[in-house]
């Protein structure tokens, strides 16, 4: 796995050198959370802001980690550096591992920044344990998102082909994951379909732990499924990422 760290170091170096990309991927979610605050301020008094604030923050990290990772990997393919890596002896597990490690650094930073902003702007008051759980959920979701980005990138020949996956995978999860409404109110098939998206399981844990009487023990299964997503998508990505044409 030494070479996974070589890839990770290079990915981090690239992210740090690309100031515009880095600024956008950190500032954009912060600005969107602020817009969300402006929108919620227009709603009638007594509206349950907490129910939406953290899930939306989680969604932003999910979306950005997915799209940035997918596009970076597709760029590797179009530029020919992916082929060059494999000819130079890198294995696909090392490339996937390196990308995961590299993008996880960015996703961790995004998760901390977006969660901190949401908690500060919406004046949310959570205990230390709840904050740690929320961070862990957003972080696990970020891992699943990076893996999803790697998996999806294997089906795209150029950057433009990544975008159709946004309405196909990311946007349905907004409506079917329970982030905007209770999934119990959806038709049975839509509720079932919602379970496919990692955001569903992340939202399930978030909604439980932010309740005053919430108990993490009640959502251990959802937590485990969220962690399992990373592993399953890692396996799928290592099956679909081809080392040779």
Partner 1 sequence: MYAVEVSGLVRRYGRAEALGGVDLRVPEGTVFGLVGPNGAGKTTLIKALVGALRPSEGEVRVLGLRPFGDRARLRRQIGYMPQAPALYEDLSARDNVGFFGAAHRTPDLRKRTDEVLELTNLSDRAGDPVHKLSGGMKRRVSLACALVHQPRMLFLDEPTAAVDPLLRNRLWKTFRGLAGEGVTLFISTHLMDEAMLCDRVSILLGGRVIVSDDPRRILQKGRARLEVRRNGESEERTIGGRPEDLAAALRPYGLESGVEAVSVEEDSLEKVVLSIIGEERR
Here the tokens at position 186 are 């959806």
Say if CB 110 and CB 65 are below 8 A apart: yes
Please check whether residue 171 is in contact with residue 67, taking contact to mean a CB–CB distance below 8 angstroms.
no
Each residue 44-83 as x (binds partner 1 by CB under 8 A) or -, in order, gives -----------------------------------xxx-x
99 binds partner 1 (CB under 8 A): no
Query: Cα separations (Å) of 234 from 127, 147, 226?
Result: 33, 6, 13
Nearest-CA neighbor of 57 among 170, 135, 127? 135
Task: Verify binding: residue 88, partner 1, rule CB under 8 A.
Answer: yes
4 versus 33: smaller Cβ distance to partner 1 = 4
Shortest Cβ 152–partner 1 spacing (Å): 22
Pick the stretch among 3-11, 55-63, 101-109, 166-174 that binds partner 1 (CB under 8 A).
3-11
Phi, psi at residue 111, to the nearest 5°?
-60, -45
Q: Residue 44 gets which letter from DSSP?
A: P
Q: Which of residues 101-130 bind partner 1 (CB under 8 A)?
A: none
Looking at beta carbons only, is 58 or 74 nearer to partner 1?
74
Establish if 84 lies at the interface with partner 1 (CB under 8 A). Answer: yes
Are 69 and 153 contacting, i.e. CB atoms less than 8 angstroms apart? yes
**Interface with partner 1 (CB under 8 A), residue from 1, 14, 47, 235:** 14
Backbone angles phi, psi at 16, to 5 degrees: -70, -30
Residue 219 and residue 193: Cα distance in Å, rounded? 19
Give the residue, chosen from 1, 31, 87, 132, that forms a contact with partner 1 under the rule CB under 8 A: 87
Query: Applying CB under 8 A, which of residues 86, 109, 135, 175 lies at the interface with partner 1?
Result: 86
| Using rule CB under 8 A, residue 159 touches partner 1 | no
Residue 135 CB-density burial (10 A; 0-12 exposed, 13-18 middle, 19+ buried): middle
Does 42 engage in binding with partner 1 (CB under 8 A)? no
Residue 90 found at the interface with partner 1 (CB under 8 A): yes
13 binds partner 1 (CB under 8 A): yes
Least distance (Å) between residue 76 CB and partner 1? 9
Chain centroid to CA 138: how far? Answer: 7
List contacts with partner 1 (CB under 8 A).
2-3, 6, 10, 13-14, 17-18, 79-81, 83-90, 244-245
């Amino acid at each position: 796995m030494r070479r996974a760290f070589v890839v990770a170091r290079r990915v981090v170096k690239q992210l740090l050198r690309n100031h515009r990309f880095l600024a956008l991927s950190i500032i954009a979610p912060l600005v969107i959370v602020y817009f969300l605050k402006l929108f919620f301020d227009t709603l009638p008094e007594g509206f349950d802001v907490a129910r939406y604030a953290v899930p939306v923050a989680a969604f932003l990290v999910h979306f950005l980690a997915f799209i940035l990772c997918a596009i970076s990997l597709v760029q590797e393919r179009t530029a020919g550096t992916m082929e060059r890596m494999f000819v130079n002896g890198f294995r696909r597990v090392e490339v996937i591992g390196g990308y995961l490690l590299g993008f996880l650094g960015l996703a961790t930073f995004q998760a901390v920044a977006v969660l901190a902003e949401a908690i500060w702007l919406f004046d949310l008051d959570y205990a230390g344990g709840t904050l740690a759980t929320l961070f862990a959920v957003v972080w696990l979701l970020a891992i699943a998102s990076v893996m999803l980005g790697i998996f999806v990138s294997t089906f795209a020949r150029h950057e433009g082909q990544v975008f159709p996956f946004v309405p196909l995978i990311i946007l349905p999860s907004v409506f079917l994951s329970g982030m905007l409404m209770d999934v119990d109110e959806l038709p049975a098939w839509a509720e079932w379909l919602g379970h496919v998206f990692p955001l569903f399981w992340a939202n399930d844990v978030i909604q439980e732990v932010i309740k005053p009487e919430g108990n993490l023990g009640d959502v251990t299964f959802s937590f485990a499924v969220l962690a399992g997503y990373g592993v399953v998508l890692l396996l799928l990505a290592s099956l679909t990422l081809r080392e040779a044409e």
